[in-house]
Chains A and B, each alone.
Chain A
C-alpha cells in the first residue's frame, strides 16, 4: 500500500471512530466534557496560529471568544437571528475586532504586545460588565437559544443533547484544523514563520509583514469568535468572565503543554488537559483541596523548561523511534 493510501486509511478510521463515539459512550456528562474539549481545541488552534506560527503573543485571546459568544447570543435573543447564521456572524465580528487589534500590534512585540492585548480584553470585559441594558452586566446572558433543528424533507436533526452538539463541534474542529493546516502550509504560513523568526530578515526578502500580521490576527480572531458562538449556544450562558484573563490562561496552558507551533499541539493539549482536569476534580473532592490551577501552573513551567515541544514533540519522537529512525529535533524554536 502506498504511503498516501495509508494516510487516507488512517484518516478514515479516525474519523469513523470519532463519528461512532457517541454510540459507544452514552454517558451525558462524558459527552459534555468531550464537547468542551472540542470548543477549546478550536480556540487553542486559533491561538496557536497567532502565537505559535506568527510569534505574536496575544494575551487577550479570550476577548475574541467572548465577542463571538456575545454576538451570536445577542443576535439570537434580541433579533431572532438563526443561531446557525450567528456562528458565522460571531466569527466575523470577532474577525473585525481582530483586525482592529492588529493595527496597533503591527509595530509592537513581546511585552508591549502582550500588555496591549491584555488591555484590549480587559476593556471589552469592562464594557460587557457595564453595558447592562445590552449585556445584563455581570449576570451575563442566560437562556440563549439552542441551535435550530436541521430539516431536509422528512428527515430532521434536533440539537438538544450533548451528543448532537458533539457532531457540530466535531465538524467545526475538523474544518478549523484543515483550514489552519492549509494556511500554515501555504506561502502565507511559511512567511509567518519567517516573520516570527526574524522580522527584519523577512522584510528584506520581500515579505509584506504588515499585511501578513493583519491577516493572521483577523483569521485567528475569526476562529476564536466562531468557537465562542458555538460555546454560547451549547452552554446557553455567557458572562463577562468568558473574556477574563483566566480563559486566556487556560488556552495558552493547553497549547503550550500540547506543543506551541505544531499542528497537533493544540488538539493534544486541549483534550489531555480537559480530561486531566476532570480527573483532578475527582481527586479534589477526595482531598478537599482546590489543586487544579496549581497543577496547571506547575505543568506550564515544567513544559517550557524541560519539554519545549510539548506533547506533540514527545509523540513525534515516539513515532520516529517506532519507525526506527533517529529522533531529530525539528528546531521549532527561534535561536
Chain B
C-alpha cells in the first residue's frame, strides 16, 4: 500500500488516523452541502418575511416522496433527473400554497409567537398527513449511479455522495447568481434588507414573498431528494432537517445566506468529527451544544445582524 496522508503525523497508527480524519471531513463536507441546501431556503424566508418556518424540513419530506414515486415510475438516470425537477416544482408550489393560505394572513398582525406556532401546526399536519397516506415504513430510493464508488486520495466513497456535494454547490452558485444578477434577485435582497424601503422603490413585495417561498421550498425539495436517496424516505424524516437547518442558520445568523452556507459546513464537519472522536450517541446534540455556546456570546449568531434591521 502506498503511503498516504501526512507522514510527519504518523507515529504508529498515524496513517490510519489520518485516513479516518480525512474520511470524516469528507463526510462532513457532503452532509454540510445537504444542510446548506435546506438552510438557504429557511434563511431566505426569514430574511424576507421574518418568518421562522418550523415546517421547512417537511418540504424535504414531500420532495423525497415525489422523487420516490417518480423513480419507481421511470427507472434509471432519467427518472432520477426527472424526480429532481418534479420535486422542485411540486414542493415549490406547496411553498406558495402555504405562504398564501397560512403565513400571508398572519403578516398583517405579525407576532413572533403566532408565526412560529402556526408553522409548528403545519409541521404536525404535514408529517402526519404523510404518515396517513404513505404509511410509517421507511422506503429506500435507488442510487442513480448503481452504488458505484470513487477513490479520493486515501479514502473511497460512493459516487453518489460526491455527486451530492457537487450538485449542491452548483445549485447554490446558481442561486447566488440569480440573487446577485437578476432584477428579481436584487428585489429579494432589497426586501430582505428593508421591507418598507423596498416597497417605496416600487418593488411588488407580494410577488417577492411568493418567489422567496417558491425558491426556498424548491431548494428544500431538492435537498429532500438527496437526503432520501442517501438515507431513507419516511414521513417523520422532515424533523431532523428542520432542526439542523435552524441550527445552521442561527449559527450563521438568521437572514444571512452566506452565514447559512458557512454554518452548514461547520455543522456537517463538527458532527462528523465529533461523532467519531467524542461520542457517536451525542452526534445529533453537537449542533445544539455549538449554538447554545455561540448564542451565549453572540445572541444573533455569528454573522447575524442586530435585531430590528
Q: Which residues on B sit within 8 Å (CB–CB) of A112?
A: 250, 254, 295, 299-301
- The one of A107, A110, A111, A305 in contact with B106, judged by C-beta atoms closer than 8 angstroms, is A305
Chain B, interface size: which category? 35 or more
Distance (whole angstroms) from the CB of B151 to the closest CB of chain A: 35
**Category for how many chain A residues contact B:** 35 or more
How close is B153's CB to chain A, nearest CB, in angstroms? 33
Q: Kindly state whether residue A334 has any CB partner on chain B within 8 Å.
A: yes
Min CB distance, B287 to chain A, in Å? 8
Given contacts A120-B292, A260-B113, A304-B114, contact A297 B121 (CB under 8 A): yes
Chain A stretch 86-133: residues in CB contact (< 8 A) with chain B = 104, 107-112, 114-116, 118-120, 122-123, 126, 129-130
CB proximity of A201 to chain B, nearest CB, Å: 14
Please state if B299 and A107 are interface contacts (CB–CB under 8 Å): yes
Known: A111-B254, A253-B124. 8 other contacts (CB 8 A): A108-B295, A112-B250, A116-B295, A293-B124, A294-B125, A297-B124, A300-B125, A305-B118
Query: Is the contact region of chain B dominated by helix, strand, or loop, or is it mixed?
Result: helix
Determine the distance from Cα of A193 to Cα of B284 in the docked complex, in whole angstroms: 35
B106, B239, B288 pick with most chain A CB within 10 angstroms:
B288
Question: A115 near B247 (CB under 8 angstroms)?
Answer: yes
Among the listed A110, A129, A289, which residue makes an inter-chain contact with B281, where contact means beta carbons less than 8 Å apart? Answer: A129
Q: Are A123 and B111 in contact (CB under 8 A)?
A: no
Q: List 15 A-B residue pairs with CB atoms under 8 Å apart, sorted by A's residue number.
A: A55-B113, A111-B250, A112-B254, A112-B295, A115-B246, A118-B246, A122-B243, A130-B281, A253-B124, A290-B128, A294-B129, A297-B122, A297-B127, A301-B102, A308-B114
**Which residues of the other chain, A, contact B292 by a CB distance below 8 angstroms?**
104, 116, 119-120
By a CB distance below 8 angstroms, the chain A residues around B282 are 123, 126, 130
| B123 lies within 8 A of chain A by Cβ | yes
Residue among B109, B122, B124, B282 facing the most chain A CB atoms (10 A cut-off):
B124
**With a CB–CB cut-off of 8 A, which chain B residues contact A108?**
295, 299
Give chain A residues whose Cβ lies under 8 Å from the Cβ of B117: 57, 252, 256, 300, 304
CB of A57 within 8 A of CB of B112, answer yes
